[in-house]
A and B are shown apart, each in its own frame.
Chain A
């Protein structure tokens, strides 16, 4: 029996030690690579946010701006991403951060440590500082196998495509011939703002990291402007009043400069069925509207 236990221990200890060592080297190496996320020198403005930014700002129309939006990106990851980018790029002068009502909802917490978060969050693993890496591991302990698989995949992606790291995101919109649809909008509103017919709580975690982004930009002397990307009217009228108020309060308390792209009228075919993402056509018009606004503000 003693021999059996000893042999079992040796059998498992060898690969565990070996894999741990290799993993540590691999993580260290990719993390070092991720530090070097330098952007072209002419890029002085970056657009950070979730899929709303990713789908809305077509940066091929911008001269000195780059879209770094990532689907389902929470402010926790945006904060670390901005920190990493500012450290590697002295030439960044301005950050446009996507900030809409849905960013306040607790449904966003699912994208950090909820079900399915492991697939979304692995791409950020290597750019996080060590203590946050451990935190991310802890959040994903429920799905160890898929999480480890996806961080290995993300690491390999970094090696292959550096410096186009996955966590940097970018403009991507293939939505054509779609339009806003009442049923999908209602479903989307329910999903984002309600839980069992009651309004969802605010995500204090996301709000906390929004404030951290504001402080970081102040500390680094980088101008921060928040952008509200367009959403369909049918969507807008269904947003709970508590969210509208909270949104205004955050803008006011933090003295945030805001660009509201909702002020430009867009037709239904500029939206995807859910009413809060833009189609390719919508992105084109919105980016042009944004350029108009920027040139109006800075003559």
Chain B
């Protein structure tokens, strides 16, 4: 069930009504209801893979409880590895098995050994990379004694399967989300209204920006050889906007939906395209995943408190693993590697440190220096995203090569020129709205502070009208495949 589907438009009000009106008095029933609703939500896609969620839930619940009472270091480590093996094992089988088999076969063929590999003919369960990482973080936190394991299985199951963020994040930490399942919730008007506002903006980003950009991205990336350098650049630019609109749109809808149920999820995107360098970009892009890798991979490896060589190694490991998390393809690995290359000089020259405020804080426009920084960071991002979208490495290198070698001028004649122009105008409107709202949690955050209700309503109606008029119909979210 997609957030941008009619099914969800029916599902959400039903779940919302039952959740607040019928079950608001009993926390246990409320949590159980969330678990059932979440399983229904997931089953809409494929009920058979519920078994994987259940396995992950039960293993980590049991491991968490046992870990806490266990003081023997060896046994504790064994329990942690049990959880890691189960979760990463599920991922390995469903997501990476074929990749490894095919690459080993290719590697052996170089030495003249011919192999007939047995690849698996299975589909990738939606959201597998998200909920396995979420449950893993729980066990690791319990192991590190940062968190007391919960005794409440229903609350834990709700934490793992919470439907707004089940299939594409944000990847929540137990330290943040689990206590919310254990505390009594009451309806919060302001939170719910802000949730709706955030959902609306997320829907706009997805169906208006991402899905309209997708039309040109698919056309250009599938016919790379036919287009001029300028058009290929437009294709790369549109893909960058598409993936941002798609994924941050999903995150906004997820966070907004959770707010309707009285939950606060972590902010997953914080206007990343207004970053002044790549370090800032990674503090603003897919925050829940980058902080996950920081806390559970980078820091355990020694972080940046080691020799320069080891720090650089750690950075490359984190970015390459992060790329590989996105998909079993060399293109993602190179994408991750490129970002590591972007990051290392900043670390070396200590330019990676956190800026206190968002760019041009309290001002309407950035300074020239800031403008140049934003544009150059964005250009690097666009370049890396070509690898993210390309079918394979040959395609990516061909694409980049063509941008610089083919005649630059001569924009492609798209079938529907009017639609292309409308899309371009909508992108400009979108960027302006994001810029104006960059100091809030989401672009429409500040609108809540506008006292004049008719003005607020007019803005909402305008966005709804644009969604209805220019939005595309029920396109799948890109991050569902991860």
Measured CB to CB, the residues of A under 8 A from B are: 1, 3-4, 7, 11, 14-15, 145-146, 149
B21 partner residues in chain A, CB cutoff 8 A: 1
Bound CA–CA A28/B473 (angstroms): 29
B473 touches A4 (CB 8 A): no
Instruction: Indicate which residue in A3, A14, A145 contacts B189 across the interface (CB closer than 8 Å).
Output: A3
Quick check: A15 and B473 within 8 Å, CB to CB? no
What is the chain A residue whose CB lies nearest that of B187? A1
Cα A145 to Cα B20 in complex, Å, equals 31
**B473 interface neighbour in A1, A3, A11, A145, Cβ under 8 Å:** A145
Query: Which residue of chain B is the closest to A146 with respect to CB atoms?
Result: B473
In angstroms, Cα B187 to Cα A3, docked, is 11
- With a cutoff of 8 Å between Cβ atoms, the chain A residues found around residue B460 in the complex are 11
Chain A residues lying within 8 Å of B457, measured Cβ to Cβ, are 11, 14
Of the A-B pairs whose beta carbons lie under 8 Å apart in the complex, a sample of 13, sorted by A's number, is A1-B20, A1-B187, A1-B189, A4-B187, A4-B189, A4-B192, A4-B193, A7-B193, A11-B460, A15-B461, A145-B468, A145-B473, A149-B469
Bound Cα distance from A273 to B193, whole angstroms? 58
In the docked arrangement, what's the CA distance between A14 and B454, Å? 11
CA distance A188 to B52 in the complex (A): 47
Contact with A along B454-482 (1 / 0, CB 8 A): 00010011001000110001000000000
Contacts of B187 in A (CB 8 A): 1, 4
Identity of the chain B residue whose Cβ is nearest the Cβ of A14 in the assembled complex: B457
Complex alpha-carbon distance, A294 and B20, angstroms = 76
B34-88 interface (Cβ within 8 A of A)? none
B residues near A15, Cβ cutoff 8 Å = 461, 464
Going nearest first, the 5 A-B pairs with the smallest beta carbon separation are A1-B187, A4-B189, A4-B192, A15-B461, A3-B189
Q: Give the chain B neighbours of A11 by CB distance below 8 A.
A: 457, 460
A187 to B55 Cα, complex, angstroms:
50
Chain A residues with CB under 8 A of B189: 1, 3-4
Nearest CB on A from B249, distance (A):
19
Task: Enumerate B5-20 residues with CB–CB distance to A below 8 Å.
Answer: 20
Q: Contacts A3-B189, A7-B193 given; 4 further ones with Cβ under 8 A? A: A4-B187, A14-B457, A145-B468, A145-B473
Consensus secondary structure, chain B interface: helix
- Distance from B192 Cβ to chain A, minimum over Cβ atoms (Å): 6
Residue in A closest to B186 when the chains form the complex, CB atoms: A1
Contacting residues, chain A, for B469 (C-beta < 8 A): 149
Measured CB to CB, the nearest residue on chain B to A152 is B469
B468's nearest neighbour on chain A, judged by CB, is: A145
A149 proximity list for chain B (CB < 8 A): 469
A65 and B461 alpha carbons, distance in the complex (Å):
50
In the bound complex, CA of A135 to CA of B478 (Å): 39
- Which residue of chain A has the shortest Cβ distance to B260 in the bound complex? A4
Give bound CA distance, A11 to B20, whole Å. 20
Find chain B residues with CB under 8 A from A3 CB: 189
* B190 and chain A: residue at smallest CB distance: A4
Chain B CB within 10 Å, residue with most, of A4, A7, A145, A149: A4
Q: How far is the CA of A15 from the CA of B461 in the complex (A)?
A: 8
**Which residues from 433 to 462 on chain B have a C-beta closer than 8 Å to any C-beta of chain A?**
457, 460-461
Give chain A residues whose Cβ lies under 8 Å from the Cβ of B461: 15
Q: Which residues of chain A are near B468, meaning CB under 8 Å?
A: 145
A182 to chain B, nearest CB (A): 31
- Report Cα–Cα, A11/B453, bound state, in Å: 11
User: Which of A145, A146, A149 has the most B CB atoms < 10 Å from its CB?
Assistant: A145
A146 to B457, CA, bound (A): 25
| Across-interface contacts of B464 in A (CB, < 8 A) | 15
Query: Which residues on the A side are within 8 Å of B193 (C-beta)?
Result: 4, 7
- B23 smallest CB distance to A (angstroms): 13
Report how far A4 CA is from B460 CA in the complex, Å: 16
Chain A: minimal CB distance from B347 (Å): 47
Which chain B residues lie closer than 8 Å to A1 at the CB level? Answer: 20-21, 187, 189
Q: A3 vs B192: C-alpha distance in the bound complex, in angstroms?
A: 11
State in angstroms the CA–CA spacing of A1 and B193 once bound together.
Answer: 11
Proximity string of chain B (184-211) to chain A, C-beta cutoff 8 Å, 1 when within and 0 when not:
0001010011000000000000000000
Instruction: Give CA–CA (A14, B457) in the complex, Å.
Output: 10
Expressed in whole angstroms, the minimum distance between the Cβ of B2 and any Cβ of chain A is 15
CA distance A14 to B469 in the complex (A): 19
**CB-CB nearest in chain A for B456:** A11
Within 8 A of A (CB), among B392-437: none
Contact with A along B97-139 (1 / 0, CB 8 A): 0000000000000000000000000000000000000000000
By beta carbon, the residue of chain B nearest A12 is B464
CA distance A219 to B21 in the complex (A): 62
Bound CA–CA A47/B473 (angstroms): 38
Give, as a whole number of angstroms, the nearest-CB distance from B169 to chain A.
Answer: 27
Q: CA–CA, A7 to B196, complex, Å? A: 12
Nearest CB of chain A from residue B341's CB, rounded to whole Å: 45
Question: How far, in whole Å, are A123 and B21 apart by their CA atoms in the complex?
Answer: 46
Q: How distant is the Cα of A3 from the Cα of B468 in the complex, in angstroms?
A: 27
- CB proximity to A under 8 Å, residues B160-203: 187, 189, 192-193
- Write the nearest CB–CB distance from A17 to chain B, whole angstroms: 13
Tell me the minimal C-beta distance from B418 to chain A in angstroms: 13
Which residue on B lies nearest to A15, using beta carbons? Answer: B461
- Closest approach, in angstroms, between the C-beta of B231 and any C-beta of chain A? 29
Closest CB-CB distance, A146 to chain B, in whole Å? 8
Assembled-state Cα–Cα distance A95/B189 (Å): 66
A3 to B188, CA, bound (A): 11
Interface residues of B in 202-242 (CB under 8 A from A): none
